[in-house]
C-alpha cells in the first residue's frame, strides 16, 4: 500500500491509500493533482458544553447545519473529480481516500475568543473549544456500491487506513479516543450515498467507553484480575448458540443482552487495545469474515440493510490494559418493512426493549451467510 499526503484548497489534509496492480505498480502520483476550488475558510471549532447531571460533554456545532444533504450522483462530493464537477477528492480515481471533514464536529481550528477554556454558561456548565479531529474515509471511487461488495483486498486496505489514522490521531495532544465507524442507509441518517465511513478523534473519553471500562474495573476487582471482555468472549464461544461466524482469529456473535434487533459483536481472540495493534494475519482474517457478515445482513430481508458499524478502541492515555478492541455492527431493521425507532423508553430512559430474541437473530444471520 502506498500512502500519499496532500492538501485541499482550504488547507485540509487529504491522504490517498493506493493498492498496487497485478504487476506491483502504483497509480500515477496523487500529490500532483491540485484542488483548485474556491472554498470558504474552514469553520471555527465547535463548542463543548458540560452536562453536570450525566457527567458528559455535548458538542454544539452549529456550522454543520449547512452541510451537504443527499446530493444527486453527479454532484457527489466523495466521487472522484471530473472536468464538470470538482469534488473533495481531486484525483480522477482512487482506491481509498481519507480527508478532514469539511463540516467537522471536532477540529483544531481556532475557536472564538469567548470559548476560552475557563468560560462557563452557568457555574455548573463550563464551556471549552471542541478540539480534536473529524475525517471522512472513502472506501472506493465507485458510487453505486457498498462495503459488502468490496473485495477482501480492498476491505483490508480500508482497515489499514483506519489503523494508520488511529495511530496518527492518537499521537495528538487534543485527542483522547479515536472512533472509526460507518453509517449506512438513509434510515440511519446518512446524508451521502457514496460508500464511506468516518473517524472521530474525540477530545475526551466517550461516555459509553467510560461505562464499559468502569464495569471492567469492577469485574477485575471481584474476579482476581480477570478481564471482563475476554470472559464474555469465552462464554459466548463456549455456548455457541449466538455465534454467527468464527475463525482462528475472530468470533462474531450476537450478545446475550442485545439492544438492537440485529446486533453482532466482532471480537479478536487476542486482547489488543486498538486497530494498529492487529497483526497482518488478524487483519486479513477480519476482512474476509466481516464481508461475509455484511452480506448476511443484506440477505436477511433481501434489501440493503441500514446499519452502524462501530469500532471500540481503547482510550489513548488511560485503561489500555483493560480495554479489548471490538466492533459492534447493528441495524434498526427488525423485520421486512419495519424499523425499530428509539421511542420513550430508549430515548428518554436509556432502557432498551428488543423485539427480536438474540438467539433467533443469530440463527437468522447464520442462515443468511454466503
Q: Just list the catalytic residues.
A: 196
For residue 355, give every residue at least 6 positions away whose Cβ sits within 8 Å of its Cβ, in sequence order, or none.
Answer: 261, 334, 340
Place of cell 502520483: 29
Q: What is the DSSP string of 225-281?
A: T--HHHHHHHHHHHH-TTEEEE-SSEEEE--TT-SSSEEEEEEESS--SSGGG--HH
- Among residues 179, 183, 228, the alpha carbon closest in space to that of 207 is found at 179
266 and 329 Cβ atoms separated by less than 8 Å: yes
CB atoms inside a 10 Å sphere around CB 196: 21
The Cα–Cα gap between 95 and 86 comes to 18
The Cα–Cα gap between 30 and 4 comes to 7
The Cα–Cα gap between 97 and 66 comes to 23
Q: At what angle do helices 152-170 and 280-299 cross, to 10 degrees?
A: 120
Q: Is the dihedral of CA 255, 261, 266, 272 positive or negative?
A: negative
**For the chain, where are the alpha helices, taking DSSP H only?**
152-170, 207-222, 228-239, 280-299, 349, 358-368
For residue 135, give every residue at least 6 positions away whose Cβ sits within 8 Å of its Cβ, in sequence order, or none.
Answer: 98, 99, 100, 101, 165, 198, 199, 201
Amino acid at each position: 500500500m502506498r500512502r500519499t499526503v496532500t492538501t485541499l484548497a482550504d488547507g485540509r489534509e487529504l491522504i490517498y491509500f493506493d493498492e498496487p496492480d497485478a504487476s506491483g505498480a502504483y497509480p500515477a502520483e496523487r500529490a500532483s493533482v491540485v484542488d483548485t476550488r474556491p472554498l470558504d475558510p474552514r469553520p471555527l471549532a465547535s463548542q463543548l458544553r458540560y452536562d453536570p447531571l450525566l457527567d458528559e460533554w455535548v458538542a454544539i456545532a452549529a456550522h454543520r447545519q449547512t452541510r451537504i444533504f443527499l446530493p444527486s450522483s453527479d454532484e457527489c462530493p466523495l466521487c472522484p473529480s471530473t472536468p464538470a464537477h470538482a469534488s473533495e477528492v481531486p484525483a480522477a480515481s482512487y482506491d481509498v481516500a481519507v480527508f478532514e471533514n469539511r463540516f467537522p464536529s471536532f477540529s483544531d481550528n481556532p475557536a472564538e475568543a469567548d470559548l476560552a477554556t475557563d468560560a462557563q454558561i452557568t457555574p455548573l456548565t463550563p464551556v471549552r473549544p471542541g478540539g480534536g479531529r473529524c475525517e471522512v474515509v472513502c472506501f472506493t471511487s465507485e458510487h453505486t456500491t457498498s462495503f459488502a461488495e468490496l473485495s477482501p483486498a480492498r476491505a483490508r486496505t480500508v482497515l489499514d487506513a483506519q489503523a494508520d489514522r488511529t495511530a496518527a490521531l492518537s499521537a495528538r495532544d487534543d485527542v483522547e479516543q479515536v472512533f472509526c465507524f460507518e453509517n449506512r442507509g438513509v434510515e440511519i441518517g446518512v446524508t451521502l450515498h457514496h460508500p464511506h465511513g468516518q473517524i472521530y478523534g474525540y477530545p475526551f473519553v466517550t461516555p459509553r467507553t467510560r461505562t464499559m471500562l468502569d464495569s471492567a474495573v469492577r469485574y477485575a476487582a471481584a474476579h482476581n484480575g480477570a478481564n471482563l471482555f475476554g470472559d464474555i468472549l469465552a462464554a459466548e464461544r463456549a455456548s455457541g448458540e449466538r455465534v454467527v461466524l468464527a475463525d482462528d482469529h475472530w468470533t462474531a456473535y450476537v450478545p446475550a443482552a442485545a439492544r438492537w434487533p440485529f446486533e453482532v459483536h466482532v471480537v479478536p481472540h487476542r486482547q489488543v487495545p486498538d486497530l494498529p495493534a492487529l497483526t497482518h494475519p488478524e487483519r486479513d482474517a477480519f476482512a474476509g469474515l466481516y464481508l461475509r457478515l455484511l452480506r448476511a445482513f443484506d440477505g436477511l430481508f433481501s434489501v440493503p440493510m441500514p446499519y452502524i458499524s462501530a469500532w471500540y478502541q481503547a482510550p489513548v492515555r488511560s485503561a489500555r490494559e483493560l480495554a479489548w478492541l471490538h466492533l459492534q455492527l447493528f441495524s434498526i431493521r427488525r423485520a421486512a418493512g419495519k424499523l425499530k425507532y428509539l421511542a420513550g423508553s430508549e430515548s428518554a430512559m436509556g432502557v432498551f426493549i428488543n423485539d427480536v430474541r438474540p438467539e433467533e437473530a443469530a440463527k437468522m444471520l447464520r442462515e443468511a451467510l454466503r
